Structure 1
Amino acid sequence: MDPRVETFFEEAALWPEELSALRAILREMGLEECWKWRAPCYTFRGGNVATLWGFREACTLSFFKGVLLRDPEGVLVPPGQNSRSARVMKFTSLDEIGAGRRQIEDFVAQSIANEKAGRKVDLPPDDFDLPEELSERLEADPDLVAAWDRLTPGRRRGWVLHVGQAKQSATRQARIDKAAPKILAGKGMHDR
């Protein structure tokens, strides 16, 4: 086991009891615990199933392929406006976790079944346009365009959203300047 996982739970400043309770459920369901993206991650046969996070407003249990889960009560929500695959459950007390335990176990069981079946989220192709500044930069730099083409679709999407959300052209250009070395290294916005 990665010692960073234990440190995460020992040093959790927000929702420590709730995070530990969710951890216990996930481990009881037979998921493997590892460390990815600066958080505990739970996998089945190498496939990412869930991760835990503690935020100011709630602790969350995030399912990587949450859009594939049957959720008749609508408790799973996208973690952000640009989320296409992940869905989260939010908790603010141990009582909520206790009351939602059957749902959690059902979602984990569905996720395991999806991994066994090899199900993937069928994401439609991105329908966004490159920000003008990014398009111009790619046209002017053959090394950057080659690196861009090697990025995964998700990494390209992340960069386009990051650059495109800036309101001013100068800010978009500054973001591209800062991003270029990471793109050349084959990294996405959140990669270290």
Structure 2
Amino acid sequence: MIQVESFFNTSSRWKEEYNTLREIILENKQLKEDFKWMHPCYTYLGNNIVLIHGFKDYCALLFHKGVLLKDQQGLLIQQTKNVQSARQLRFKNVDEIISKKIIIENFIKDAIEVEKRGDKVELKPVSEYTVPEEFQKALNEDKNLSNAFYNLTPGRQKGYLLYFGQAKQSKTRQERIAKFYDKIILGKGIDD
């Protein structure tokens, strides 16, 4: 796959770490290498298991259903408070990856078993997300906006609620609502 090879060949910051993680993952013959969200993603029967990605201070394995994995040592990290399912296993260098090879292999085996059993993550319903005051006011005042918003998929609704709510100032929240008004009316998500 050209995109995957390009990712590994052109990465500069974490090149050696990425390649080491790839080698460990591909030792498990049940996984298929794919390319999703601009990163190498490893799947089992079409279901996402683990993804390799990197940031400024660390590279990581992202286990898509990491919250369901056995993690007695508390190594898996919730990237942000809004991430419900995925968990990261972070690394700062190749030696750290090599020293945790068995741990990585065990997390991968556990993640595959989670898929085989069909385990599902209980996601928080949209009704439990905070609706920013400015957006609630807009929904109350504009029936078209309200109808369009509540006809969006739960994931799209959550995306808007999180994005609007992240703004610290009321003015910024109002600007974001105005900016995405047309997308909501058209039934599109924040990233569509």
- TM-score of the two chains, using structure 1 as the length reference: 0.88
Provide the secondary structure at the position in 2 that maps to 1:75.
Answer: coil
* Cα displacement string for residues 166-190 of structure 1 (whole angstroms, at most 9, x for unaligned residues): 122221111122223443455443x
Q: 1:91-130 alignment to 2 at 5 Å?
A: 91-126=91-126, 127-130=128-131
Count of aligned pairs: 190
% identity of equivalent residues: 45
The unaligned stretches of length 5 or more in structure 1 are none
Output the TM-score relative to the length of structure 2. Answer: 0.88
| Pairs within 5 Å for 1:1-192 | 1=1, 3-29=2-28, 30-126=30-126, 127-184=128-185, 186-189=187-190, 191-192=191-192
| Cα offsets for 1:7-43 (capped at 9, x unmatched) | 1111112211101111122222131222222222211
- Give, in angstroms, the shift of residue 63 of structure 1: 0.5
Distance 1:71 1:34, change over 3 A: same
Alpha carbon RMSD of aligned pairs, Å?
A: 2.0
**Alpha-carbon displacement from aligned partner over 1:136-165 (angstroms, at most 9, x marks no partner):** 333444444344234333332222121112
Counterpart of 1:20, as a letter, is N
> Deviation string for 1:50-100 (max 9, x for gaps)?
111111100010101101000111111111122211110111111111111
Q: Which runs of 5+ in 2 are unaligned?
A: none
| Distance in structure 1 (CA, Å) of the matches to 2:152 and 2:105 | 35
